[in-house]
Structures are given as structure tokens and as C-alpha cells.
Chains A and B, each alone.
Chain A
Amino acid sequence: MKRFIKISAIASALLFSASAWAVEFGGLFSNESKFSGPKYNDMTLDQSDTLSAWVRVPFNKTGSSYFIAEGLYKFEQNPLLDDNADAENVSAIDVDLFKIVSQKATENGTLSFSAGRFATHDLSTMVFSQMADGALLTYDSTTIGFSVYGAYTGLLNGRTVSMISPDGNWFEKKDKVYQLAEKYAVGAAGINFPNFAANQTFALQVMDAYRLEGDTINRLYGEIQLNGPIASNFYYILNTVFNYNMSKFSDESDTSIANLSRLALSWYPGVCNMAFTLNGVYASGEQGPFESFCGFTSQTAVNLSGGNTEYSNLVKAGLTASIKPVSNLLVAASGDAVFDAVKDIKYLGVFANFSVVYQVVSDVQAGLSSYLFKGDDSIHDKAAVTASLAISF
């Protein structure tokens, strides 16, 4: 025991001695209070508080190689202000960042390697957008870039990360502060050509998510992306993702093909950092050769009660506008028409969102947002008002 303590002390001293003068650390406290319900005068309150602390240790003078880690404690209380429901208190602890990074400048570009627990996302950001335990190797130059990624999700805290279960057996959250998440092996490889012609960027990526326990489920994604300027202040992003699902339940095998596509047209007038974006998203249902699209990370496509809010069986089109009237104030609003696309495309309703983010000082941020979904029928109606506060130290 004494020997172990001695070795640990020496190792820690060696780790920090070379860069002890440059170790950075800090923390963040945030509170989010959310009133939500089918309409504004019928809401319940959900509250969450998060306390996090991080440390960063550079390994060289330039800081191109470093270690960084962050841990957090989250406390949730929901619902309140509802006499018919008992308040549920939920606590979770997590290590949401724990990685080493090494960057090396080559003659024409930069090689970067990250290993540990960190967040990343796929090209579209709508399929995989979460943390996992793994490694990422990227190379970026002015003419070509590539990336290779491999990760495992079984050590994550299932209370803080949500992954879609294609067989409908959603992860059951139990009353634990740290509950191991579902086990998936995720791998991805991509290549991109920045500014290959007229400042256009073309990128390709393949990603595979293989479930390691339970029934066999393998989700393969092939992605293509084009983005660049159309005219002076007009830009576009075009993504399409083809999803090939292979599953085996008992002795029955099943395969399906699906598609997720997005087109965003943005205009930046150059006044007060204004931005206007026309968005269109299609997530396939049973149309033509396609079946329901199934992403990996659970993400909210539209906030509505009941129903499926993932990027699946859905068409969404609308406009987002944002402005920064002063440098520390960001105001944004959006409106989308939402269509159900399980089989036929049917109008579902309108989703409107408004948010204000105010940076009081560099380490205090306050936010207020509200959204409303007004459906063609009232079953899916939902409204919410959220106030948030974040203080860093």
C-alpha cells in the first residue's frame, strides 16, 4: 500500500511538474427551470442544477498537446407545481470529458489525435452527436482532410446520454447516480475536400454502430455533404444520409434502408451579426424503397407531446432568424411547419421557438426561451418556457 502511494505520488509529480505553471482549472454552476405542458396555462415545473469542474494540463509550451478532464453532478427535480404528481428527485454524476490530445503540424496541414472520453458528431450532426470512449484521428489541410473514429459506449452514464434503441426497448433509467449505458461499438471514417472549386466543400463519411448485447442490431450510415457560398452572403449546406439497418431477433433477420436529408440556405446580411436560415429536413418513413430512418443519438427534432420527436418519419421546413443587437445579447426565433411522414405526408402542425441569451459578464450567462407546438389536432400540443442561468468560476 505504501509503495503504491509512493508510486502514485511520483507519477503525479512527474505528470504535473513540467507544466505545473500552466495548469488551468475552473468550474460551472447552471440552473435550468422549465415550465411545460399542453398549453401555457397548464404547466408543470422541471428543474435541474448542474455543478461541474474541469482541469487542463498542457504537455508542451504551445499547448498543442494536453490532457483535459471534466466531472459533473446533476440534480433534477420534476415535476413541481402539479398537485397530482409526486416530485421526483434524480441525481447523477458523470465524467463527461477525459481525454488527451496531441496535435502535430505537418508541412501542409495538421495531424490531430484524441483519445479518451469526449464528444463528437457525424457530418450531419443529426445521427451521432454525443460523447463516447474512444479515439479520433484527423488530418486537415487546405486541399484534403480525413478522419477515423472508433468508440465504445458501454462505460457511459446512461442517465446523461440517450441512445435510440431500434427494437423499441428503450434504456430503463433506474435510481442510480451512475448507471452503465447500453453497449455499442461505433466506428466512422470520412474524407473531405475543402474549397475544391469556388470555395465549395465536399465531404463523405461512413459510420457503423453495432450493438454488443441483446439482439443483433447493426446500423450503417453513408453520408454525403456539400456546403459553400452561393453568392456574396448566401450559403448552403446539403446533407444526405443513407441508413442501412440489419437486425436479428431470435431467428428472424431483417434489413431496411432509410434516408435523412437536410438543406439549409443561410443569409448573413452583415448587420448586427444577423442570420436568416431556411431549413428543410426529410427523415424517411415508408416511402418508396425507404423505411423509418433510425439515428443513433436521441435528439429532439420537434418538441411535441406524445408521438415521435426523433428524426424519423418526419418532414420539417421553416425559417430561423437571429440577431446580436449588442455583442453580449443573442436573440433568435424560428418557425417550422411539421409533417408526419410515417407513410403519406400529413400536416401535423406548426412549431415556433423564441430564445434570448444574455451574457451579463464573461462568466455569467442568463437565458430565456419559449416554444409552442400547435397541432392540427390538440393531441400533440405542447408549450414550454425555460429560464436558465450559468455562472463560471
Chain B
Amino acid sequence: MKKTFILLALSVCMLTAASAFDATVVSAKGKAEILKGGSWSSLAAGATVSKGDVIQTGFKSEVVLKLKETTVTVAPLTRITMEQLAEKKDKDDSKIFLDTGSLKSDIKKSENRRVGFQVRSPVATASVRGTVIAAAVTFDGMNLDTYSGTAAIWKTSGETAKLTTEEEDKAEPPAAIEGTSAQAITDDGAPKGAVTVSGGQSAAVTTTSATVSTPQQKAAAEATSLESTTVLASATETNAMAGTAPAVASTISTDAGASVVPTQGRVVVEIVVGD
């Protein structure tokens, strides 16, 4: 009876352990700290990072993490929370909450396994599956750039770091859906209205926008605007009626106030997902 109980307990432990994996610190430069078990400590190369840990970097600091075959580079002045590091039946799921700062990831699948990688911020969620993308999180929103493949992004609001439950980590992943729709990319987890961003395209979400700025809107804005304050307030306050298409370059002029995109600094996250 005693032996049976011990064997049963060991099996449960093995099953539980098999549903989570740890990330490894490849390198840590400058002031890098980790919140583990309720206390902060310095982060050094070789350390492990588990689900629930919080990493933050200081000025001129950088941390490089390895999540299975994926490399995550945490830039200076950044704080992230590892919301999920789950090893499922044939899929590795990772979720990172980006509170502030910038993050670059080169995401690769392990052999014969699918990969799910999601970056969440207070205002948006970007989800990728076997694609090459760069997701940029600004101080008031999130930008997503793709280099190849397709990613999905949708607007959220007031989000904070939220660790996945044990049941969610153990749950069998849904069957892969063919195609490049938002539902296919996210295994049917994307809400209606999520925007897909294909290779070479960018999209953005800000706290004040009602929807995702589509790749077309973002490309047009970046091509025709300069960061400045030399514009009449009446021009920046022009109200667009619903559905107005983005401007095209044919209307560029040198009149005072031709273009303006006042900015207040930028925080960038880049996630590069490789096949």
C-alpha cells in the first residue's frame, strides 16, 4: 500500500513536472534582477527562470534568455513576467507579459513540436506560430512588425500579468488549424476582429485607439509623417469620420503643418519568430 502510494505520488509529480519547463539565462549584462519566491536578487548567466518569475533590467543592461529553442533578449529598462512556460503533448506554449520596456525574440520550434508564443502588454496581445516577426511595444501601445509568415494582434485594455493555471498548462493543445487566419495562428484563441499581420507588414495599437491600426494605416502614416510639433492644432485635431482610408503619399506638401506625429519616447519589443 505504502509502495503504491509512493509510486502514485511520484507519477503525479512527474506529470506535473512534465507540463512546465524553465528558461535559462544565457547572459546578463549590467543591472539585471529577478523576482523569485517573493524576493529580488541579481540575475547571472546560467540561472533558471520559471513561470511566475519577474525580470527587470536597468539602464544600459541586457538579459538574454533561452526558452527551449527560442532566444529572448530583454533590453534596458524593461520588466517582464513569465506568465506561462508549458510543455504540452506536442506543443510548447510560452507567454510573456511585457509591463514596460523592450524585448526581442527569435522564436524557433523544437523538432517535431509546435510552438505557441504570445506577448501580452497592458493594451494588446500579439500571438505567433512559426513566423518571423518583430513586435514593438511603445509606452502607450504596441507595434508589431513581421518579417515572414503571419502573426495576429488584437486590442485589450487594462491588462496586467496573469499566470496561467495548472489546468491551462496541462490542457491538451487544440488541433492545429490550417491557414493564416487569426484563428489558425492562435488555435482559435483570437477574438473576432483580430488583425493578421503578414511578412513585411506592421500593425499598431495605442491606448487611445479604438481598434488596431492596420498594416495599411501604419505604413501610410510612417511614409508620410515626420515627428514634430510644427503643425496647427486644427490639423492634428481633424476628426476622421468612421471608415476613412489612410492618407497616401500623393498629398505631401511643404505647407506648414504638412505632417506631424508628436511622440514622447518609445519603448520597443521585438519578437523574431523563426521556422
Contacts and interface: CB of A to CB of B under 8 A. Distances in A.
A277 B157 contact: no
A179 interface: no
A31 B216 CA distance: 33
Given A121-B240, A192-B242, A28 B223 contact: no
Contact of B245 (A140, A190, A227): A227
Nearest to A25: B233
A205 to B, nearest CB: 7
Contact of B214 (A72, A97, A136, A195): A195
B11 interface: no
A202 B242 CA distance: 11
Interface in A357-393: 357, 359, 362-365, 367-369, 386-392
A206 to B, nearest CB: 11
A118 B210 contact: no
A307 B227 CA distance: 37
B194 interface: yes
A244 to B, nearest CB: 20
Interface stretch (A9-17, A170-178, A321-329, A340-348): A321-329
Given A110-B210, A141-B193, A322-B224, A388 B239 contact: no
Contacts of A142: 154-155, 191-194, 211-212
A136 B211 contact: no
B256 interface: yes
Contact of B241 (A103, A120, A322, A369): A120
Contacts of A121: 238, 240-241, 244
B216 to A, nearest CB: 4
A97 B236 CA distance: 10
Nearest to B257: A390
Interface residues of B, number: 58
A233 interface: yes
Contact of A237 (B199, B209, B233, B248): B248
Interface string A93-120: 0001101000101000110101000111
Given A121-B241, A201-B214, A322-B223, A332 B195 contact: no
Contacts of A390: 230-231, 256-257
B170 to A, nearest CB: 31
A195 B246 CA distance: 14
Nearest to A27: B233
Interface residues of A, number: 99
A365 B212 CA distance: 30
B210 A141 contact: yes
Interface string A179-218: 0000000001011101100010111110000000000000
B215 interface: yes
A204 B219 CA distance: 23
A68 B249 CA distance: 29
Contact of A357 (B233, B234, B235, B254): B254
Interface in B196-254: 196, 198-201, 208-212, 214-216, 219-220, 222-224, 226-235, 237-250, 252-254
Contact of A72 (B192, B195, B222, B232): B232
A147 interface: yes
Contacts of B224: 275, 322, 330
Contacts of A97: 232-234, 237
Interface in B158-201: 191-196, 198-201
A28 B232 contact: yes
A229 B255 CA distance: 30
Given A266-B249, A359-B226, A390-B256, A191 B201 contact: no
Contacts of A368: 254
A275 B223 contact: yes
Given A105-B157, A123-B244, A143 B192 contact: yes
Given A188-B241, A227-B216, A322-B223, A50 B256 contact: yes
B122 to A, nearest CB: 13
Contacts of A136: 239, 241
B233 A70 contact: yes
Contacts of A201: 214, 243, 245
A225 interface: yes
B243 A328 contact: no
Nearest to A109: B210
A264 B250 contact: yes
B125 interface: no
B131 interface: no
Contacts of B215: 199, 229, 235
A222 interface: no
Contacts of B212: 142
B230 to A, nearest CB: 4
B258 interface: yes
B259 interface: yes
Contact of A138 (B233, B235, B239): B239
A327 B155 contact: no
B252 A28 contact: no
Nearest to A355: B254
Q: Which 4 A-B pairs have the closest CB atoms?
A: A142-B193, A192-B243, A367-B254, A203-B243
Interface of A: 26, 28, 30-32, 50, 52, 54, 56, 64, 68, 70, 72, 96-97, 99, 103, 105, 109-110, 112, 114, 118-123, 125, 131, 136, 138-143, 145-147, 149, 188, 190-192, 194-195, 199, 201-205, 225, 227-229, 232-233, 235, 237, 239, 264, 266, 268, 270, 273-277, 279, 320-322, 324, 327-328, 330, 332, 334, 355-357, 359, 362-365, 367-369, 386-392
26 contacts: A26-B229, A50-B256, A70-B234, A110-B209, A121-B238, A123-B243, A136-B239, A149-B241, A199-B215, A203-B242, A225-B243, A225-B245, A227-B245, A228-B216, A235-B219, A268-B219, A268-B223, A275-B224, A322-B223, A363-B230, A365-B226, A365-B228, A367-B255, A367-B256, A367-B258, A369-B253
Interface of B: 154-155, 157, 191-196, 198-201, 208-212, 214-216, 219-220, 222-224, 226-235, 237-250, 252-259
